[in-house]
Amino acid sequence: MRRFFPSLGWCLALVLVGLGGAAVGMSVAWAIPETASPYANLQIFSRALAHIELSYVDEVDQDALIYGAIRGMVETLDPHTAFMDPNEYRILTDDTEGAFGGVGVEIQAVDGWLTVVGVFDGTPAARAGLRVGDRFLRIADANARDLRISDAVRLMRGKPGSSVKVAVRRANVDSAMELTLTREVIEIEPVESKVIAGGIVYVRLKTFAETTTRELRRVLDEAVVQSKGRGGVRGVVLDLRNNPGGLLDQAVLVADEFLVSGVVVSTRGRYGALLSEAKAVRAGTRPEWPLVVLVNRYSASASEIVAAALRDLGRAVVVGEPTFGKGSVQTVIELPDASALKLTIARYYTPAGRSIQAAGVTPDVSIADSLLDSDKDAAPSVSEASLERHLPSKRSEGQPPPELDGDWKAAIEAADVRQVQKALFEGDALARQAVALVQARIAVGE
């Protein structure tokens, strides 16, 4: 049995972001270069194992030895490839079924430290004030330095209502922060929206869960009804900031809401072999409303797929910061003893044929420094390229992004954020900038 993981990191919320995505693998025949068999080195391994079993000062646990050897092997690969023993895999399976209490963060190893790369709104972690970039010093009574992510998951999850104590280090803060997080079943509403005067619909996608596309369709349909008689829907802001990804099929369906045709995303494996292509279809496509997509450095994986597809196919303007750069595909392979291997098997490619991996999506309109939240500005940079052993970028592949058309260029010049009421997005100048850009684009088209 295989499951595909298009997402960022390990999620300690209701869904391990990315699990259960559309199966994109298929049988592919390719020419494999002639190399020496890797199995010849198994003699070295078997001899070392025999010496340990026969001569080590104490009796050894054979399962622990073999599992340790496999872990050592996969730890020479990229940070998203991992081995899970039966207990760790059982925890993962429970997580994906929602049968656990969590704290609502995503973590990755950066320079040996377990680092927060995502915090879900309304969760214990968010209420306690955890932020992206925070580094764990302790989890429960365990030293978090060089702690395996699977062990951190085990320590943080537990019965809803129980608590876990953590210590974190934050950039530009002298002393460690001691926090007590009360576990709960994490329920994330994937979509929130509002209709703004002038027929502009603001939609924020928090994650790509099983219900994301259904909820997106619902809020857009409601906006059409709500604005009927007042000019109708005239533009959309799609906010993907801080969205760490999720299910691949949902990313494709979200992009397809706004696309008539074209390849949304493709995956390529070893030797560049094409594994799959997901294409948009005309049925159900929304009117060609002016569309702005908001991204930041914490928009990852499925978010990057959507932003790149809408931009490469000329459907939207992307505004914000360069994105995280999580552009690899993982599959979980169950092994005979109920352990599992999460293995990176491919890279994602945009419609223009560019790799997202360790490169991310560069916005058409970069965020102004004055619009950066001071907390984010102070946080250490965390991206796919900053992760240990990350897969290299494929920047040289594919075509450059398409040029913006004249109407969008004129709208960018004319956009005036002062015309957007601050009360609509209190403390969020970038959202106001996106709304101003849509307003300007509507005016240019009149």
What pLDDT does 19 receive? 30
CA angle 143, 184, 161 (to 5 degrees): 85
The whole-number average pLDDT for the span 355-366 is 93
- Judged against a pLDDT cut of 50, whether residue 21 lies above it is answered with no
End-to-end CA distance of the chain: 54
Q: Is the pLDDT of residue 100 over 70?
A: no
Interstrand relation of 263-268 and 274-279 (parallel, antiparallel or unpaired): antiparallel
pLDDT grade, residue 303 (50/70/90)?
Answer: very high
Residue 222 CA to residue 217 CA, distance in Å, equals 9
H helix or E strand, kind and range, residue 43: helix 42-55
pTM of the model as a whole: 0.83
Higher pLDDT, residue 95 or 50: 50
Would you say residue 306 has pLDDT above 90? yes
Residues 6+ apart with CB under 8 A from 38: none
DSSP code for 424? G
**Is there a contact between 244 and 213 (Cβ–Cβ < 8 Å)?**
no
DSSP letter, residue 210: T
Parallel, antiparallel or unpaired: strands 365-366 and 317-320: parallel
Separate counts of helices (H) and strands (E) for the chain: 11, 19
> What is the 8-class DSSP label of residue 270?
G
Q: Structure tokens of 53? A: 């079993």
Q: Which pLDDT belongs to residue 379?
A: 54
420 in Cβ contact with 432 (< 8 Å): yes
Active site residues: 301, 312, 326
- Confidence check: pLDDT of 106 > 80: yes
State the residue for tokens 């930041």: 296
Residue 340, token pair as written in the block: 């599992």
Instruction: Please provide the average confidence, as pLDDT, over all residues in the chain.
Output: 85
On the question of pLDDT at 5 being above 60, the answer is: no
List, as one string, the DSSP characters of 303-363: HHHHHHHHHHTTS-EEEES------EEEEEEE-TTS-EEEEEEEEEE-TTS-B-TTT----
- pLDDT at residue 38, rounded to an integer: 67
Q: What angle do CA 363, 292, 413 make, to 5 degrees?
A: 75
pLDDT classification of 395: cutoffs 50, 70, 90: low
Nearest-5° Cα angle at 73, 71 to 78: 90
Across the strands, what pairs with 5?
Answer: 330
Q: What is the mean pLDDT of residues 61-72?
A: 93
Percent share of the chain, pLDDT over 90: 59
Look at 95 and 166; give whichever has higher pLDDT.
166
